[in-house]
């Protein structure tokens, strides 16, 4: 649209197009190139900085969030800090409505994301404020809903992230993935939120896989009890960690079967 407006201005009020010397190719590209898409992944390469700020910065006020079965709130920091707000989830570990719920699972999902090098789960830390203990999760913005971008042409990075999401949900046994907990920014980064019901002891794989990200799968294969205990031991217990490894092994059986049937070139993406 910007390029069209410039052309109209030149045609209507500027010098004759025939008398204007053609710009250098590089200059033309600079003038007509679209502005870079906005990325909401503001913590990339700065995880420790954001973790420390969220954990220690005082909160200023709360707002109710009208959606979400776990009744999260939005907690705002005082103006002028590193971050404006976080999602605030006070969910003591237990089964209040028949489903496992825990604020600790939110933090475990973020820590596992770091261990796997995914960069898809926003920063989440444990935070104590007055009488509450909660998972404080970076409020990702600006973003679009998953549903709102379905009709748009998508880059290759979209396909890879969709594959990684399915692998991740199988690994953590996340049976609660829905359109409401998938966010997409204008740079086509996909963000995975709401993992309070994950990391259960079930050995089920809730998602059907047809493709596999080779790099992430290599990291999943390298997981063992000591690595999980070091990264997630504060957030999930030994039974949950052993169940995660059992699901990983079950994923390997499925992936090996896919490769045997279709070949590595069709199953693995780089």
For the chain, give the percent of residues with pLDDT over 70.
86
Residue 1: is its pLDDT beyond 50?
Answer: no
Bridge partners of 212, per DSSP, are 268
pLDDT tens-digit readout, 139-171: 999 999 999 999 999 999 999 999 999 999 999
Cα separation, 151 vs 21, in Å, equals 41
Cα separation, 250 vs 263, in Å, equals 19
DSSP string across 154-201? --HHHHHHHHHHHHHHHHHT-----GGGEEE-TT--EEE---TT-S-S
User: Please, what's the b/e burial string for 101-123 (b: 16 or more CB within 10 A of its CB; e: otherwise)?
Assistant: bbbbbbbbbbbbbebbebbbbbb
Confidence of residue 8 (pLDDT cuts 50, 70, 90): very low
Query: What does the pLDDT read at residue 65?
Result: 87
Query: What does the pLDDT read at residue 35?
Result: 60
Cα separation, 95 vs 102, in Å, equals 9
Query: What does the pLDDT read at residue 160?
Result: 96
pLDDT tens-digit readout, 25-50: 443 344 445 566 789 999 999 999 99
Query: What does the pLDDT read at residue 69?
Result: 67
Average pLDDT, the chain: 88
Query: What does the pLDDT read at residue 34?
Result: 52
For the chain, give the percent of residues with pLDDT over 90.
80
pLDDT tens-digit readout, 93-133: 999 878 889 999 999 999 999 999 999 999 999 999 999 99
Any idea where the domains of the chain sit in the sequence? 47-269
Query: What does the pLDDT read at residue 118?
Result: 98
Query: What does the pLDDT read at residue 37?
Result: 74
The mean pLDDT of 202-211, rounded to a whole number, is 97
For residue 201, give Cα distances in angstroms to 42, 64, 80, 239. 33, 32, 42, 7
């Amino acid at each position: 649209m910007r390029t069209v407006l410039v052309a109209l201005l030149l045609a209507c009020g500027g010098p004759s197009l025939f008398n204007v010397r053609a710009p250098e190719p590089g200059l033309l590209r600079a003038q007509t190139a679209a502005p870079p898409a906005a990325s909401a992944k503001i913590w990339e390469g700065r995880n420790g900085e954001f973790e420390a700020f969220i954990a220690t910065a005082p909160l200023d006020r709360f707002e109710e969030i009208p959606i979400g079965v776990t009744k999260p709130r939005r907690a705002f920091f005082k103006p002028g800090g590193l971050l404006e707000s976080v999602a605030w989830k006070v969910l003591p570990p237990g089964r209040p409505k028949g489903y496992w719920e825990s604020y600790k699972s939110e933090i475990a999902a973020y820590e596992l994301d770091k261990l796997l090098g995914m960069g898809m789960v926003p920063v989440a830390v444990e935070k104590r404020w007055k009488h509450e203990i909660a998972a404080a999760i970076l409020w990702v913005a600006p973003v679009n809903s998953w549903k709102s971008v379905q009709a748009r042409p998508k880059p290759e990075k979209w396909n890879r992230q969709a594959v990684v999401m399915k692998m991740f949900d199988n690994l953590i046994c996340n049976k609660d993935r829905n359109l409401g907990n998938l966010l997409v920014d204008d740079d086509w980064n996909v963000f995975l939120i709401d993992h309070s019901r994950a990391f259960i002891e079930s050995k089920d794989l809730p998602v059907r896989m047809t493709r596999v990200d080779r790099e992430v799968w290599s990291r999943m294969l390298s997981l063992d009890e000591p690595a999980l205990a070091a990264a997630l031991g504060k957030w999930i217990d030994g039974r949950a960690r052993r169940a995660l490894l059992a699901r990983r092994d079950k994923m390997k059986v499925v992936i090996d079967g896919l490769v045997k049937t279709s070949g590595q070139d069709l199953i693995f993406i780089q």
